[in-house]
Structure 1
Amino acid sequence: MNMSKKEDPRAIRTKEMLKQAVIELLQQGIPAEKLSIQKVSQQAGLNRTTFYLHYEDIHDLLQKLTDEIVGEITKQIEELMQVRELSEKSQLIRLLDYLYNQRQHLLVLFQKNDFEEKLYEQMKRLISVRRENSVTQTPRRDIDIDIKTASLVGIMMWWLKRGLHYSSDYIATEIYKMYR
């Protein structure tokens, strides 16, 4: 699509309906590999022809949905990295609050392996940048970054799946204590 052209609001609305239908079906327990164009179209109240106007197949729709959410998380992370007046803990609380608000979509997408991998890569980039910008420069060791990233993504996934009774402030405090 040519970026200079504005997308038709009806097309945007239709794509949102199809994405929401996928999320609803996945939340009902239907595995991603069992989704069909017919099921998604029916859930969205649209026909198959309309589906094909916007997506090649179910995989294309799932990939675009994953990319969109990872893009939003990336945008949040980049914005947080620019806010210098916030403490690291405050930045982490903001990120956790964002994840909490997006939890329904995230829990569905955690079922897809590539989503977790993309989230891991974004968090790794965040940790690497934070380390490069820190006052006390430590020798860069990739294993340190990988360990921190894996534990951070693991904690965030656990929190969203089973630990929501803990506040974002509490989780941020615990993470912050681990990495001091």
Structure 2
Amino acid sequence: MDIETQPERKCDRRSLRSQRLLRRALAEELAESGDLARVTVAGLTERAGLTRRTFYSHYRDIPDFIERVEESVLDEVRTHIDAIAAAHLEDLYAHIDAAEPASGSVELLTYLKDNGELIGALLGPGGDPAFIEKLLVLARGVVSERMQTGIFPDALGTFFDYYLSSVIASEVGIVQRWFSNGLVESPETMARIMTVVAFVRPGDLYGKPIDINVPAYGLKLMSMKAAAHTTESDIPASERTEGN
């Protein structure tokens, strides 16, 4: 080993250790106070057994610290979601038929559970609502392009936009529920649930499934929207604003 690199590597290890201690302290602070707004540099460093100088050598302030912690978590989550989204629909159907989780889903949920103290605190009532929104945006961005591959064009537009929002919100909501329940179920069990839940329709639970021609329904909605827009454009602007 190059002797000149040893001090630098020791410094890197100390830096990583300090950041891990601060992340753990953040989770503990949130679990105890239940309010992200009450987190302070003094409280974090005292709990982590570090100096304020150490904190400021890595971060400008608490908002900067929170943002970078969240970015680190989201980068890891993105990697796992990319792996899940890479699967073909035929593969997903095969996994469901075999009561097996989608490829990559166990790994994602294992990561969430392994970092449950911090992620649970961010997702919880005292956490950061912006983190949940970032998670939704991340999942939507990764899944959207993949889901549109091979979709009948008439099913796109407004219908697809809200459908995707529903699916993403549902999956994130399941994760939040899992955390609020204390992560009782294993990542494998949760992965199986989340793999199939998007395909379950309310009627299925009552033995009365309903078949919907989604492309035809999407086309109908688009036609209705176009007709409404045309009708409104035919009305003089002065008349459209009189009742407002």
1: CA distance, partners of 2:86 / 2:195: 19
Equivalent pairs counted in the alignment come to: 174
Distance 1:96 1:17, change over 3 A: closer
How far residue 144 of structure 1 moved from its aligned partner, in angstroms, is 0.6
Which one of 21, 35, 39 corresponds to residue 17 of structure 1?
A: 21
Distance 1:143 1:14, change over 3 A: same
Distance 1:144 1:164, change over 3 A: same
Match of 1:106 in 2: 119
Task: List alignment gaps of at least 5 residues for structure 2.
Answer: 1-7, 93-100, 200-244
Which one of 63, 75, 81 corresponds to residue 59 of structure 1?
A: 63
Structure 1 segments of 4 or more deviating over 4 A? 135-138
Task: List alignment gaps of at least 5 residues for structure 1.
Answer: 1-5
Match of 1:119 in 2: 135
How far residue 137 of structure 1 moved from its aligned partner, in angstroms, is 4.2
Larger Rg: 2
Query: Mapping of 1:3-152 within 5 angstroms?
Result: 8-9=11-12, 10-82=14-86, 87-88=91-92, 89-91=101-103, 92-110=105-123, 111-133=127-149, 137=152, 139-140=155-156, 141-152=160-171
Q: Could you tell me the TM-score, scaled by structure 1's length?
A: 0.81
Alignment deviations for residues 61-109 of structure 1 (CA, whole Å, 9 cap, x no partner)? 111111111111112212333466x944322333223322222221111
Alignment deviations for residues 26-62 of structure 1 (CA, whole Å, 9 cap, x no partner)? 2223522111111111112222122211111111111
Contact 2:78–2:138 (8 Å) recurs in 1: yes
Distance 1:41 1:98, change over 3 A: closer
Alignment deviations for residues 146-165 of structure 1 (CA, whole Å, 9 cap, x no partner)? 11111111111101221633
1: CA distance, partners of 2:108 / 2:173: 15
Q: Could you tell me the TM-score, scaled by structure 2's length?
A: 0.62
2: CA distance, partners of 1:76 / 1:123: 10
Contact 2:21–2:48 (8 Å) recurs in 1: yes
Calculate percent identity across the aligned residue pairs. 24
How far residue 113 of structure 1 moved from its aligned partner, in angstroms, is 0.6
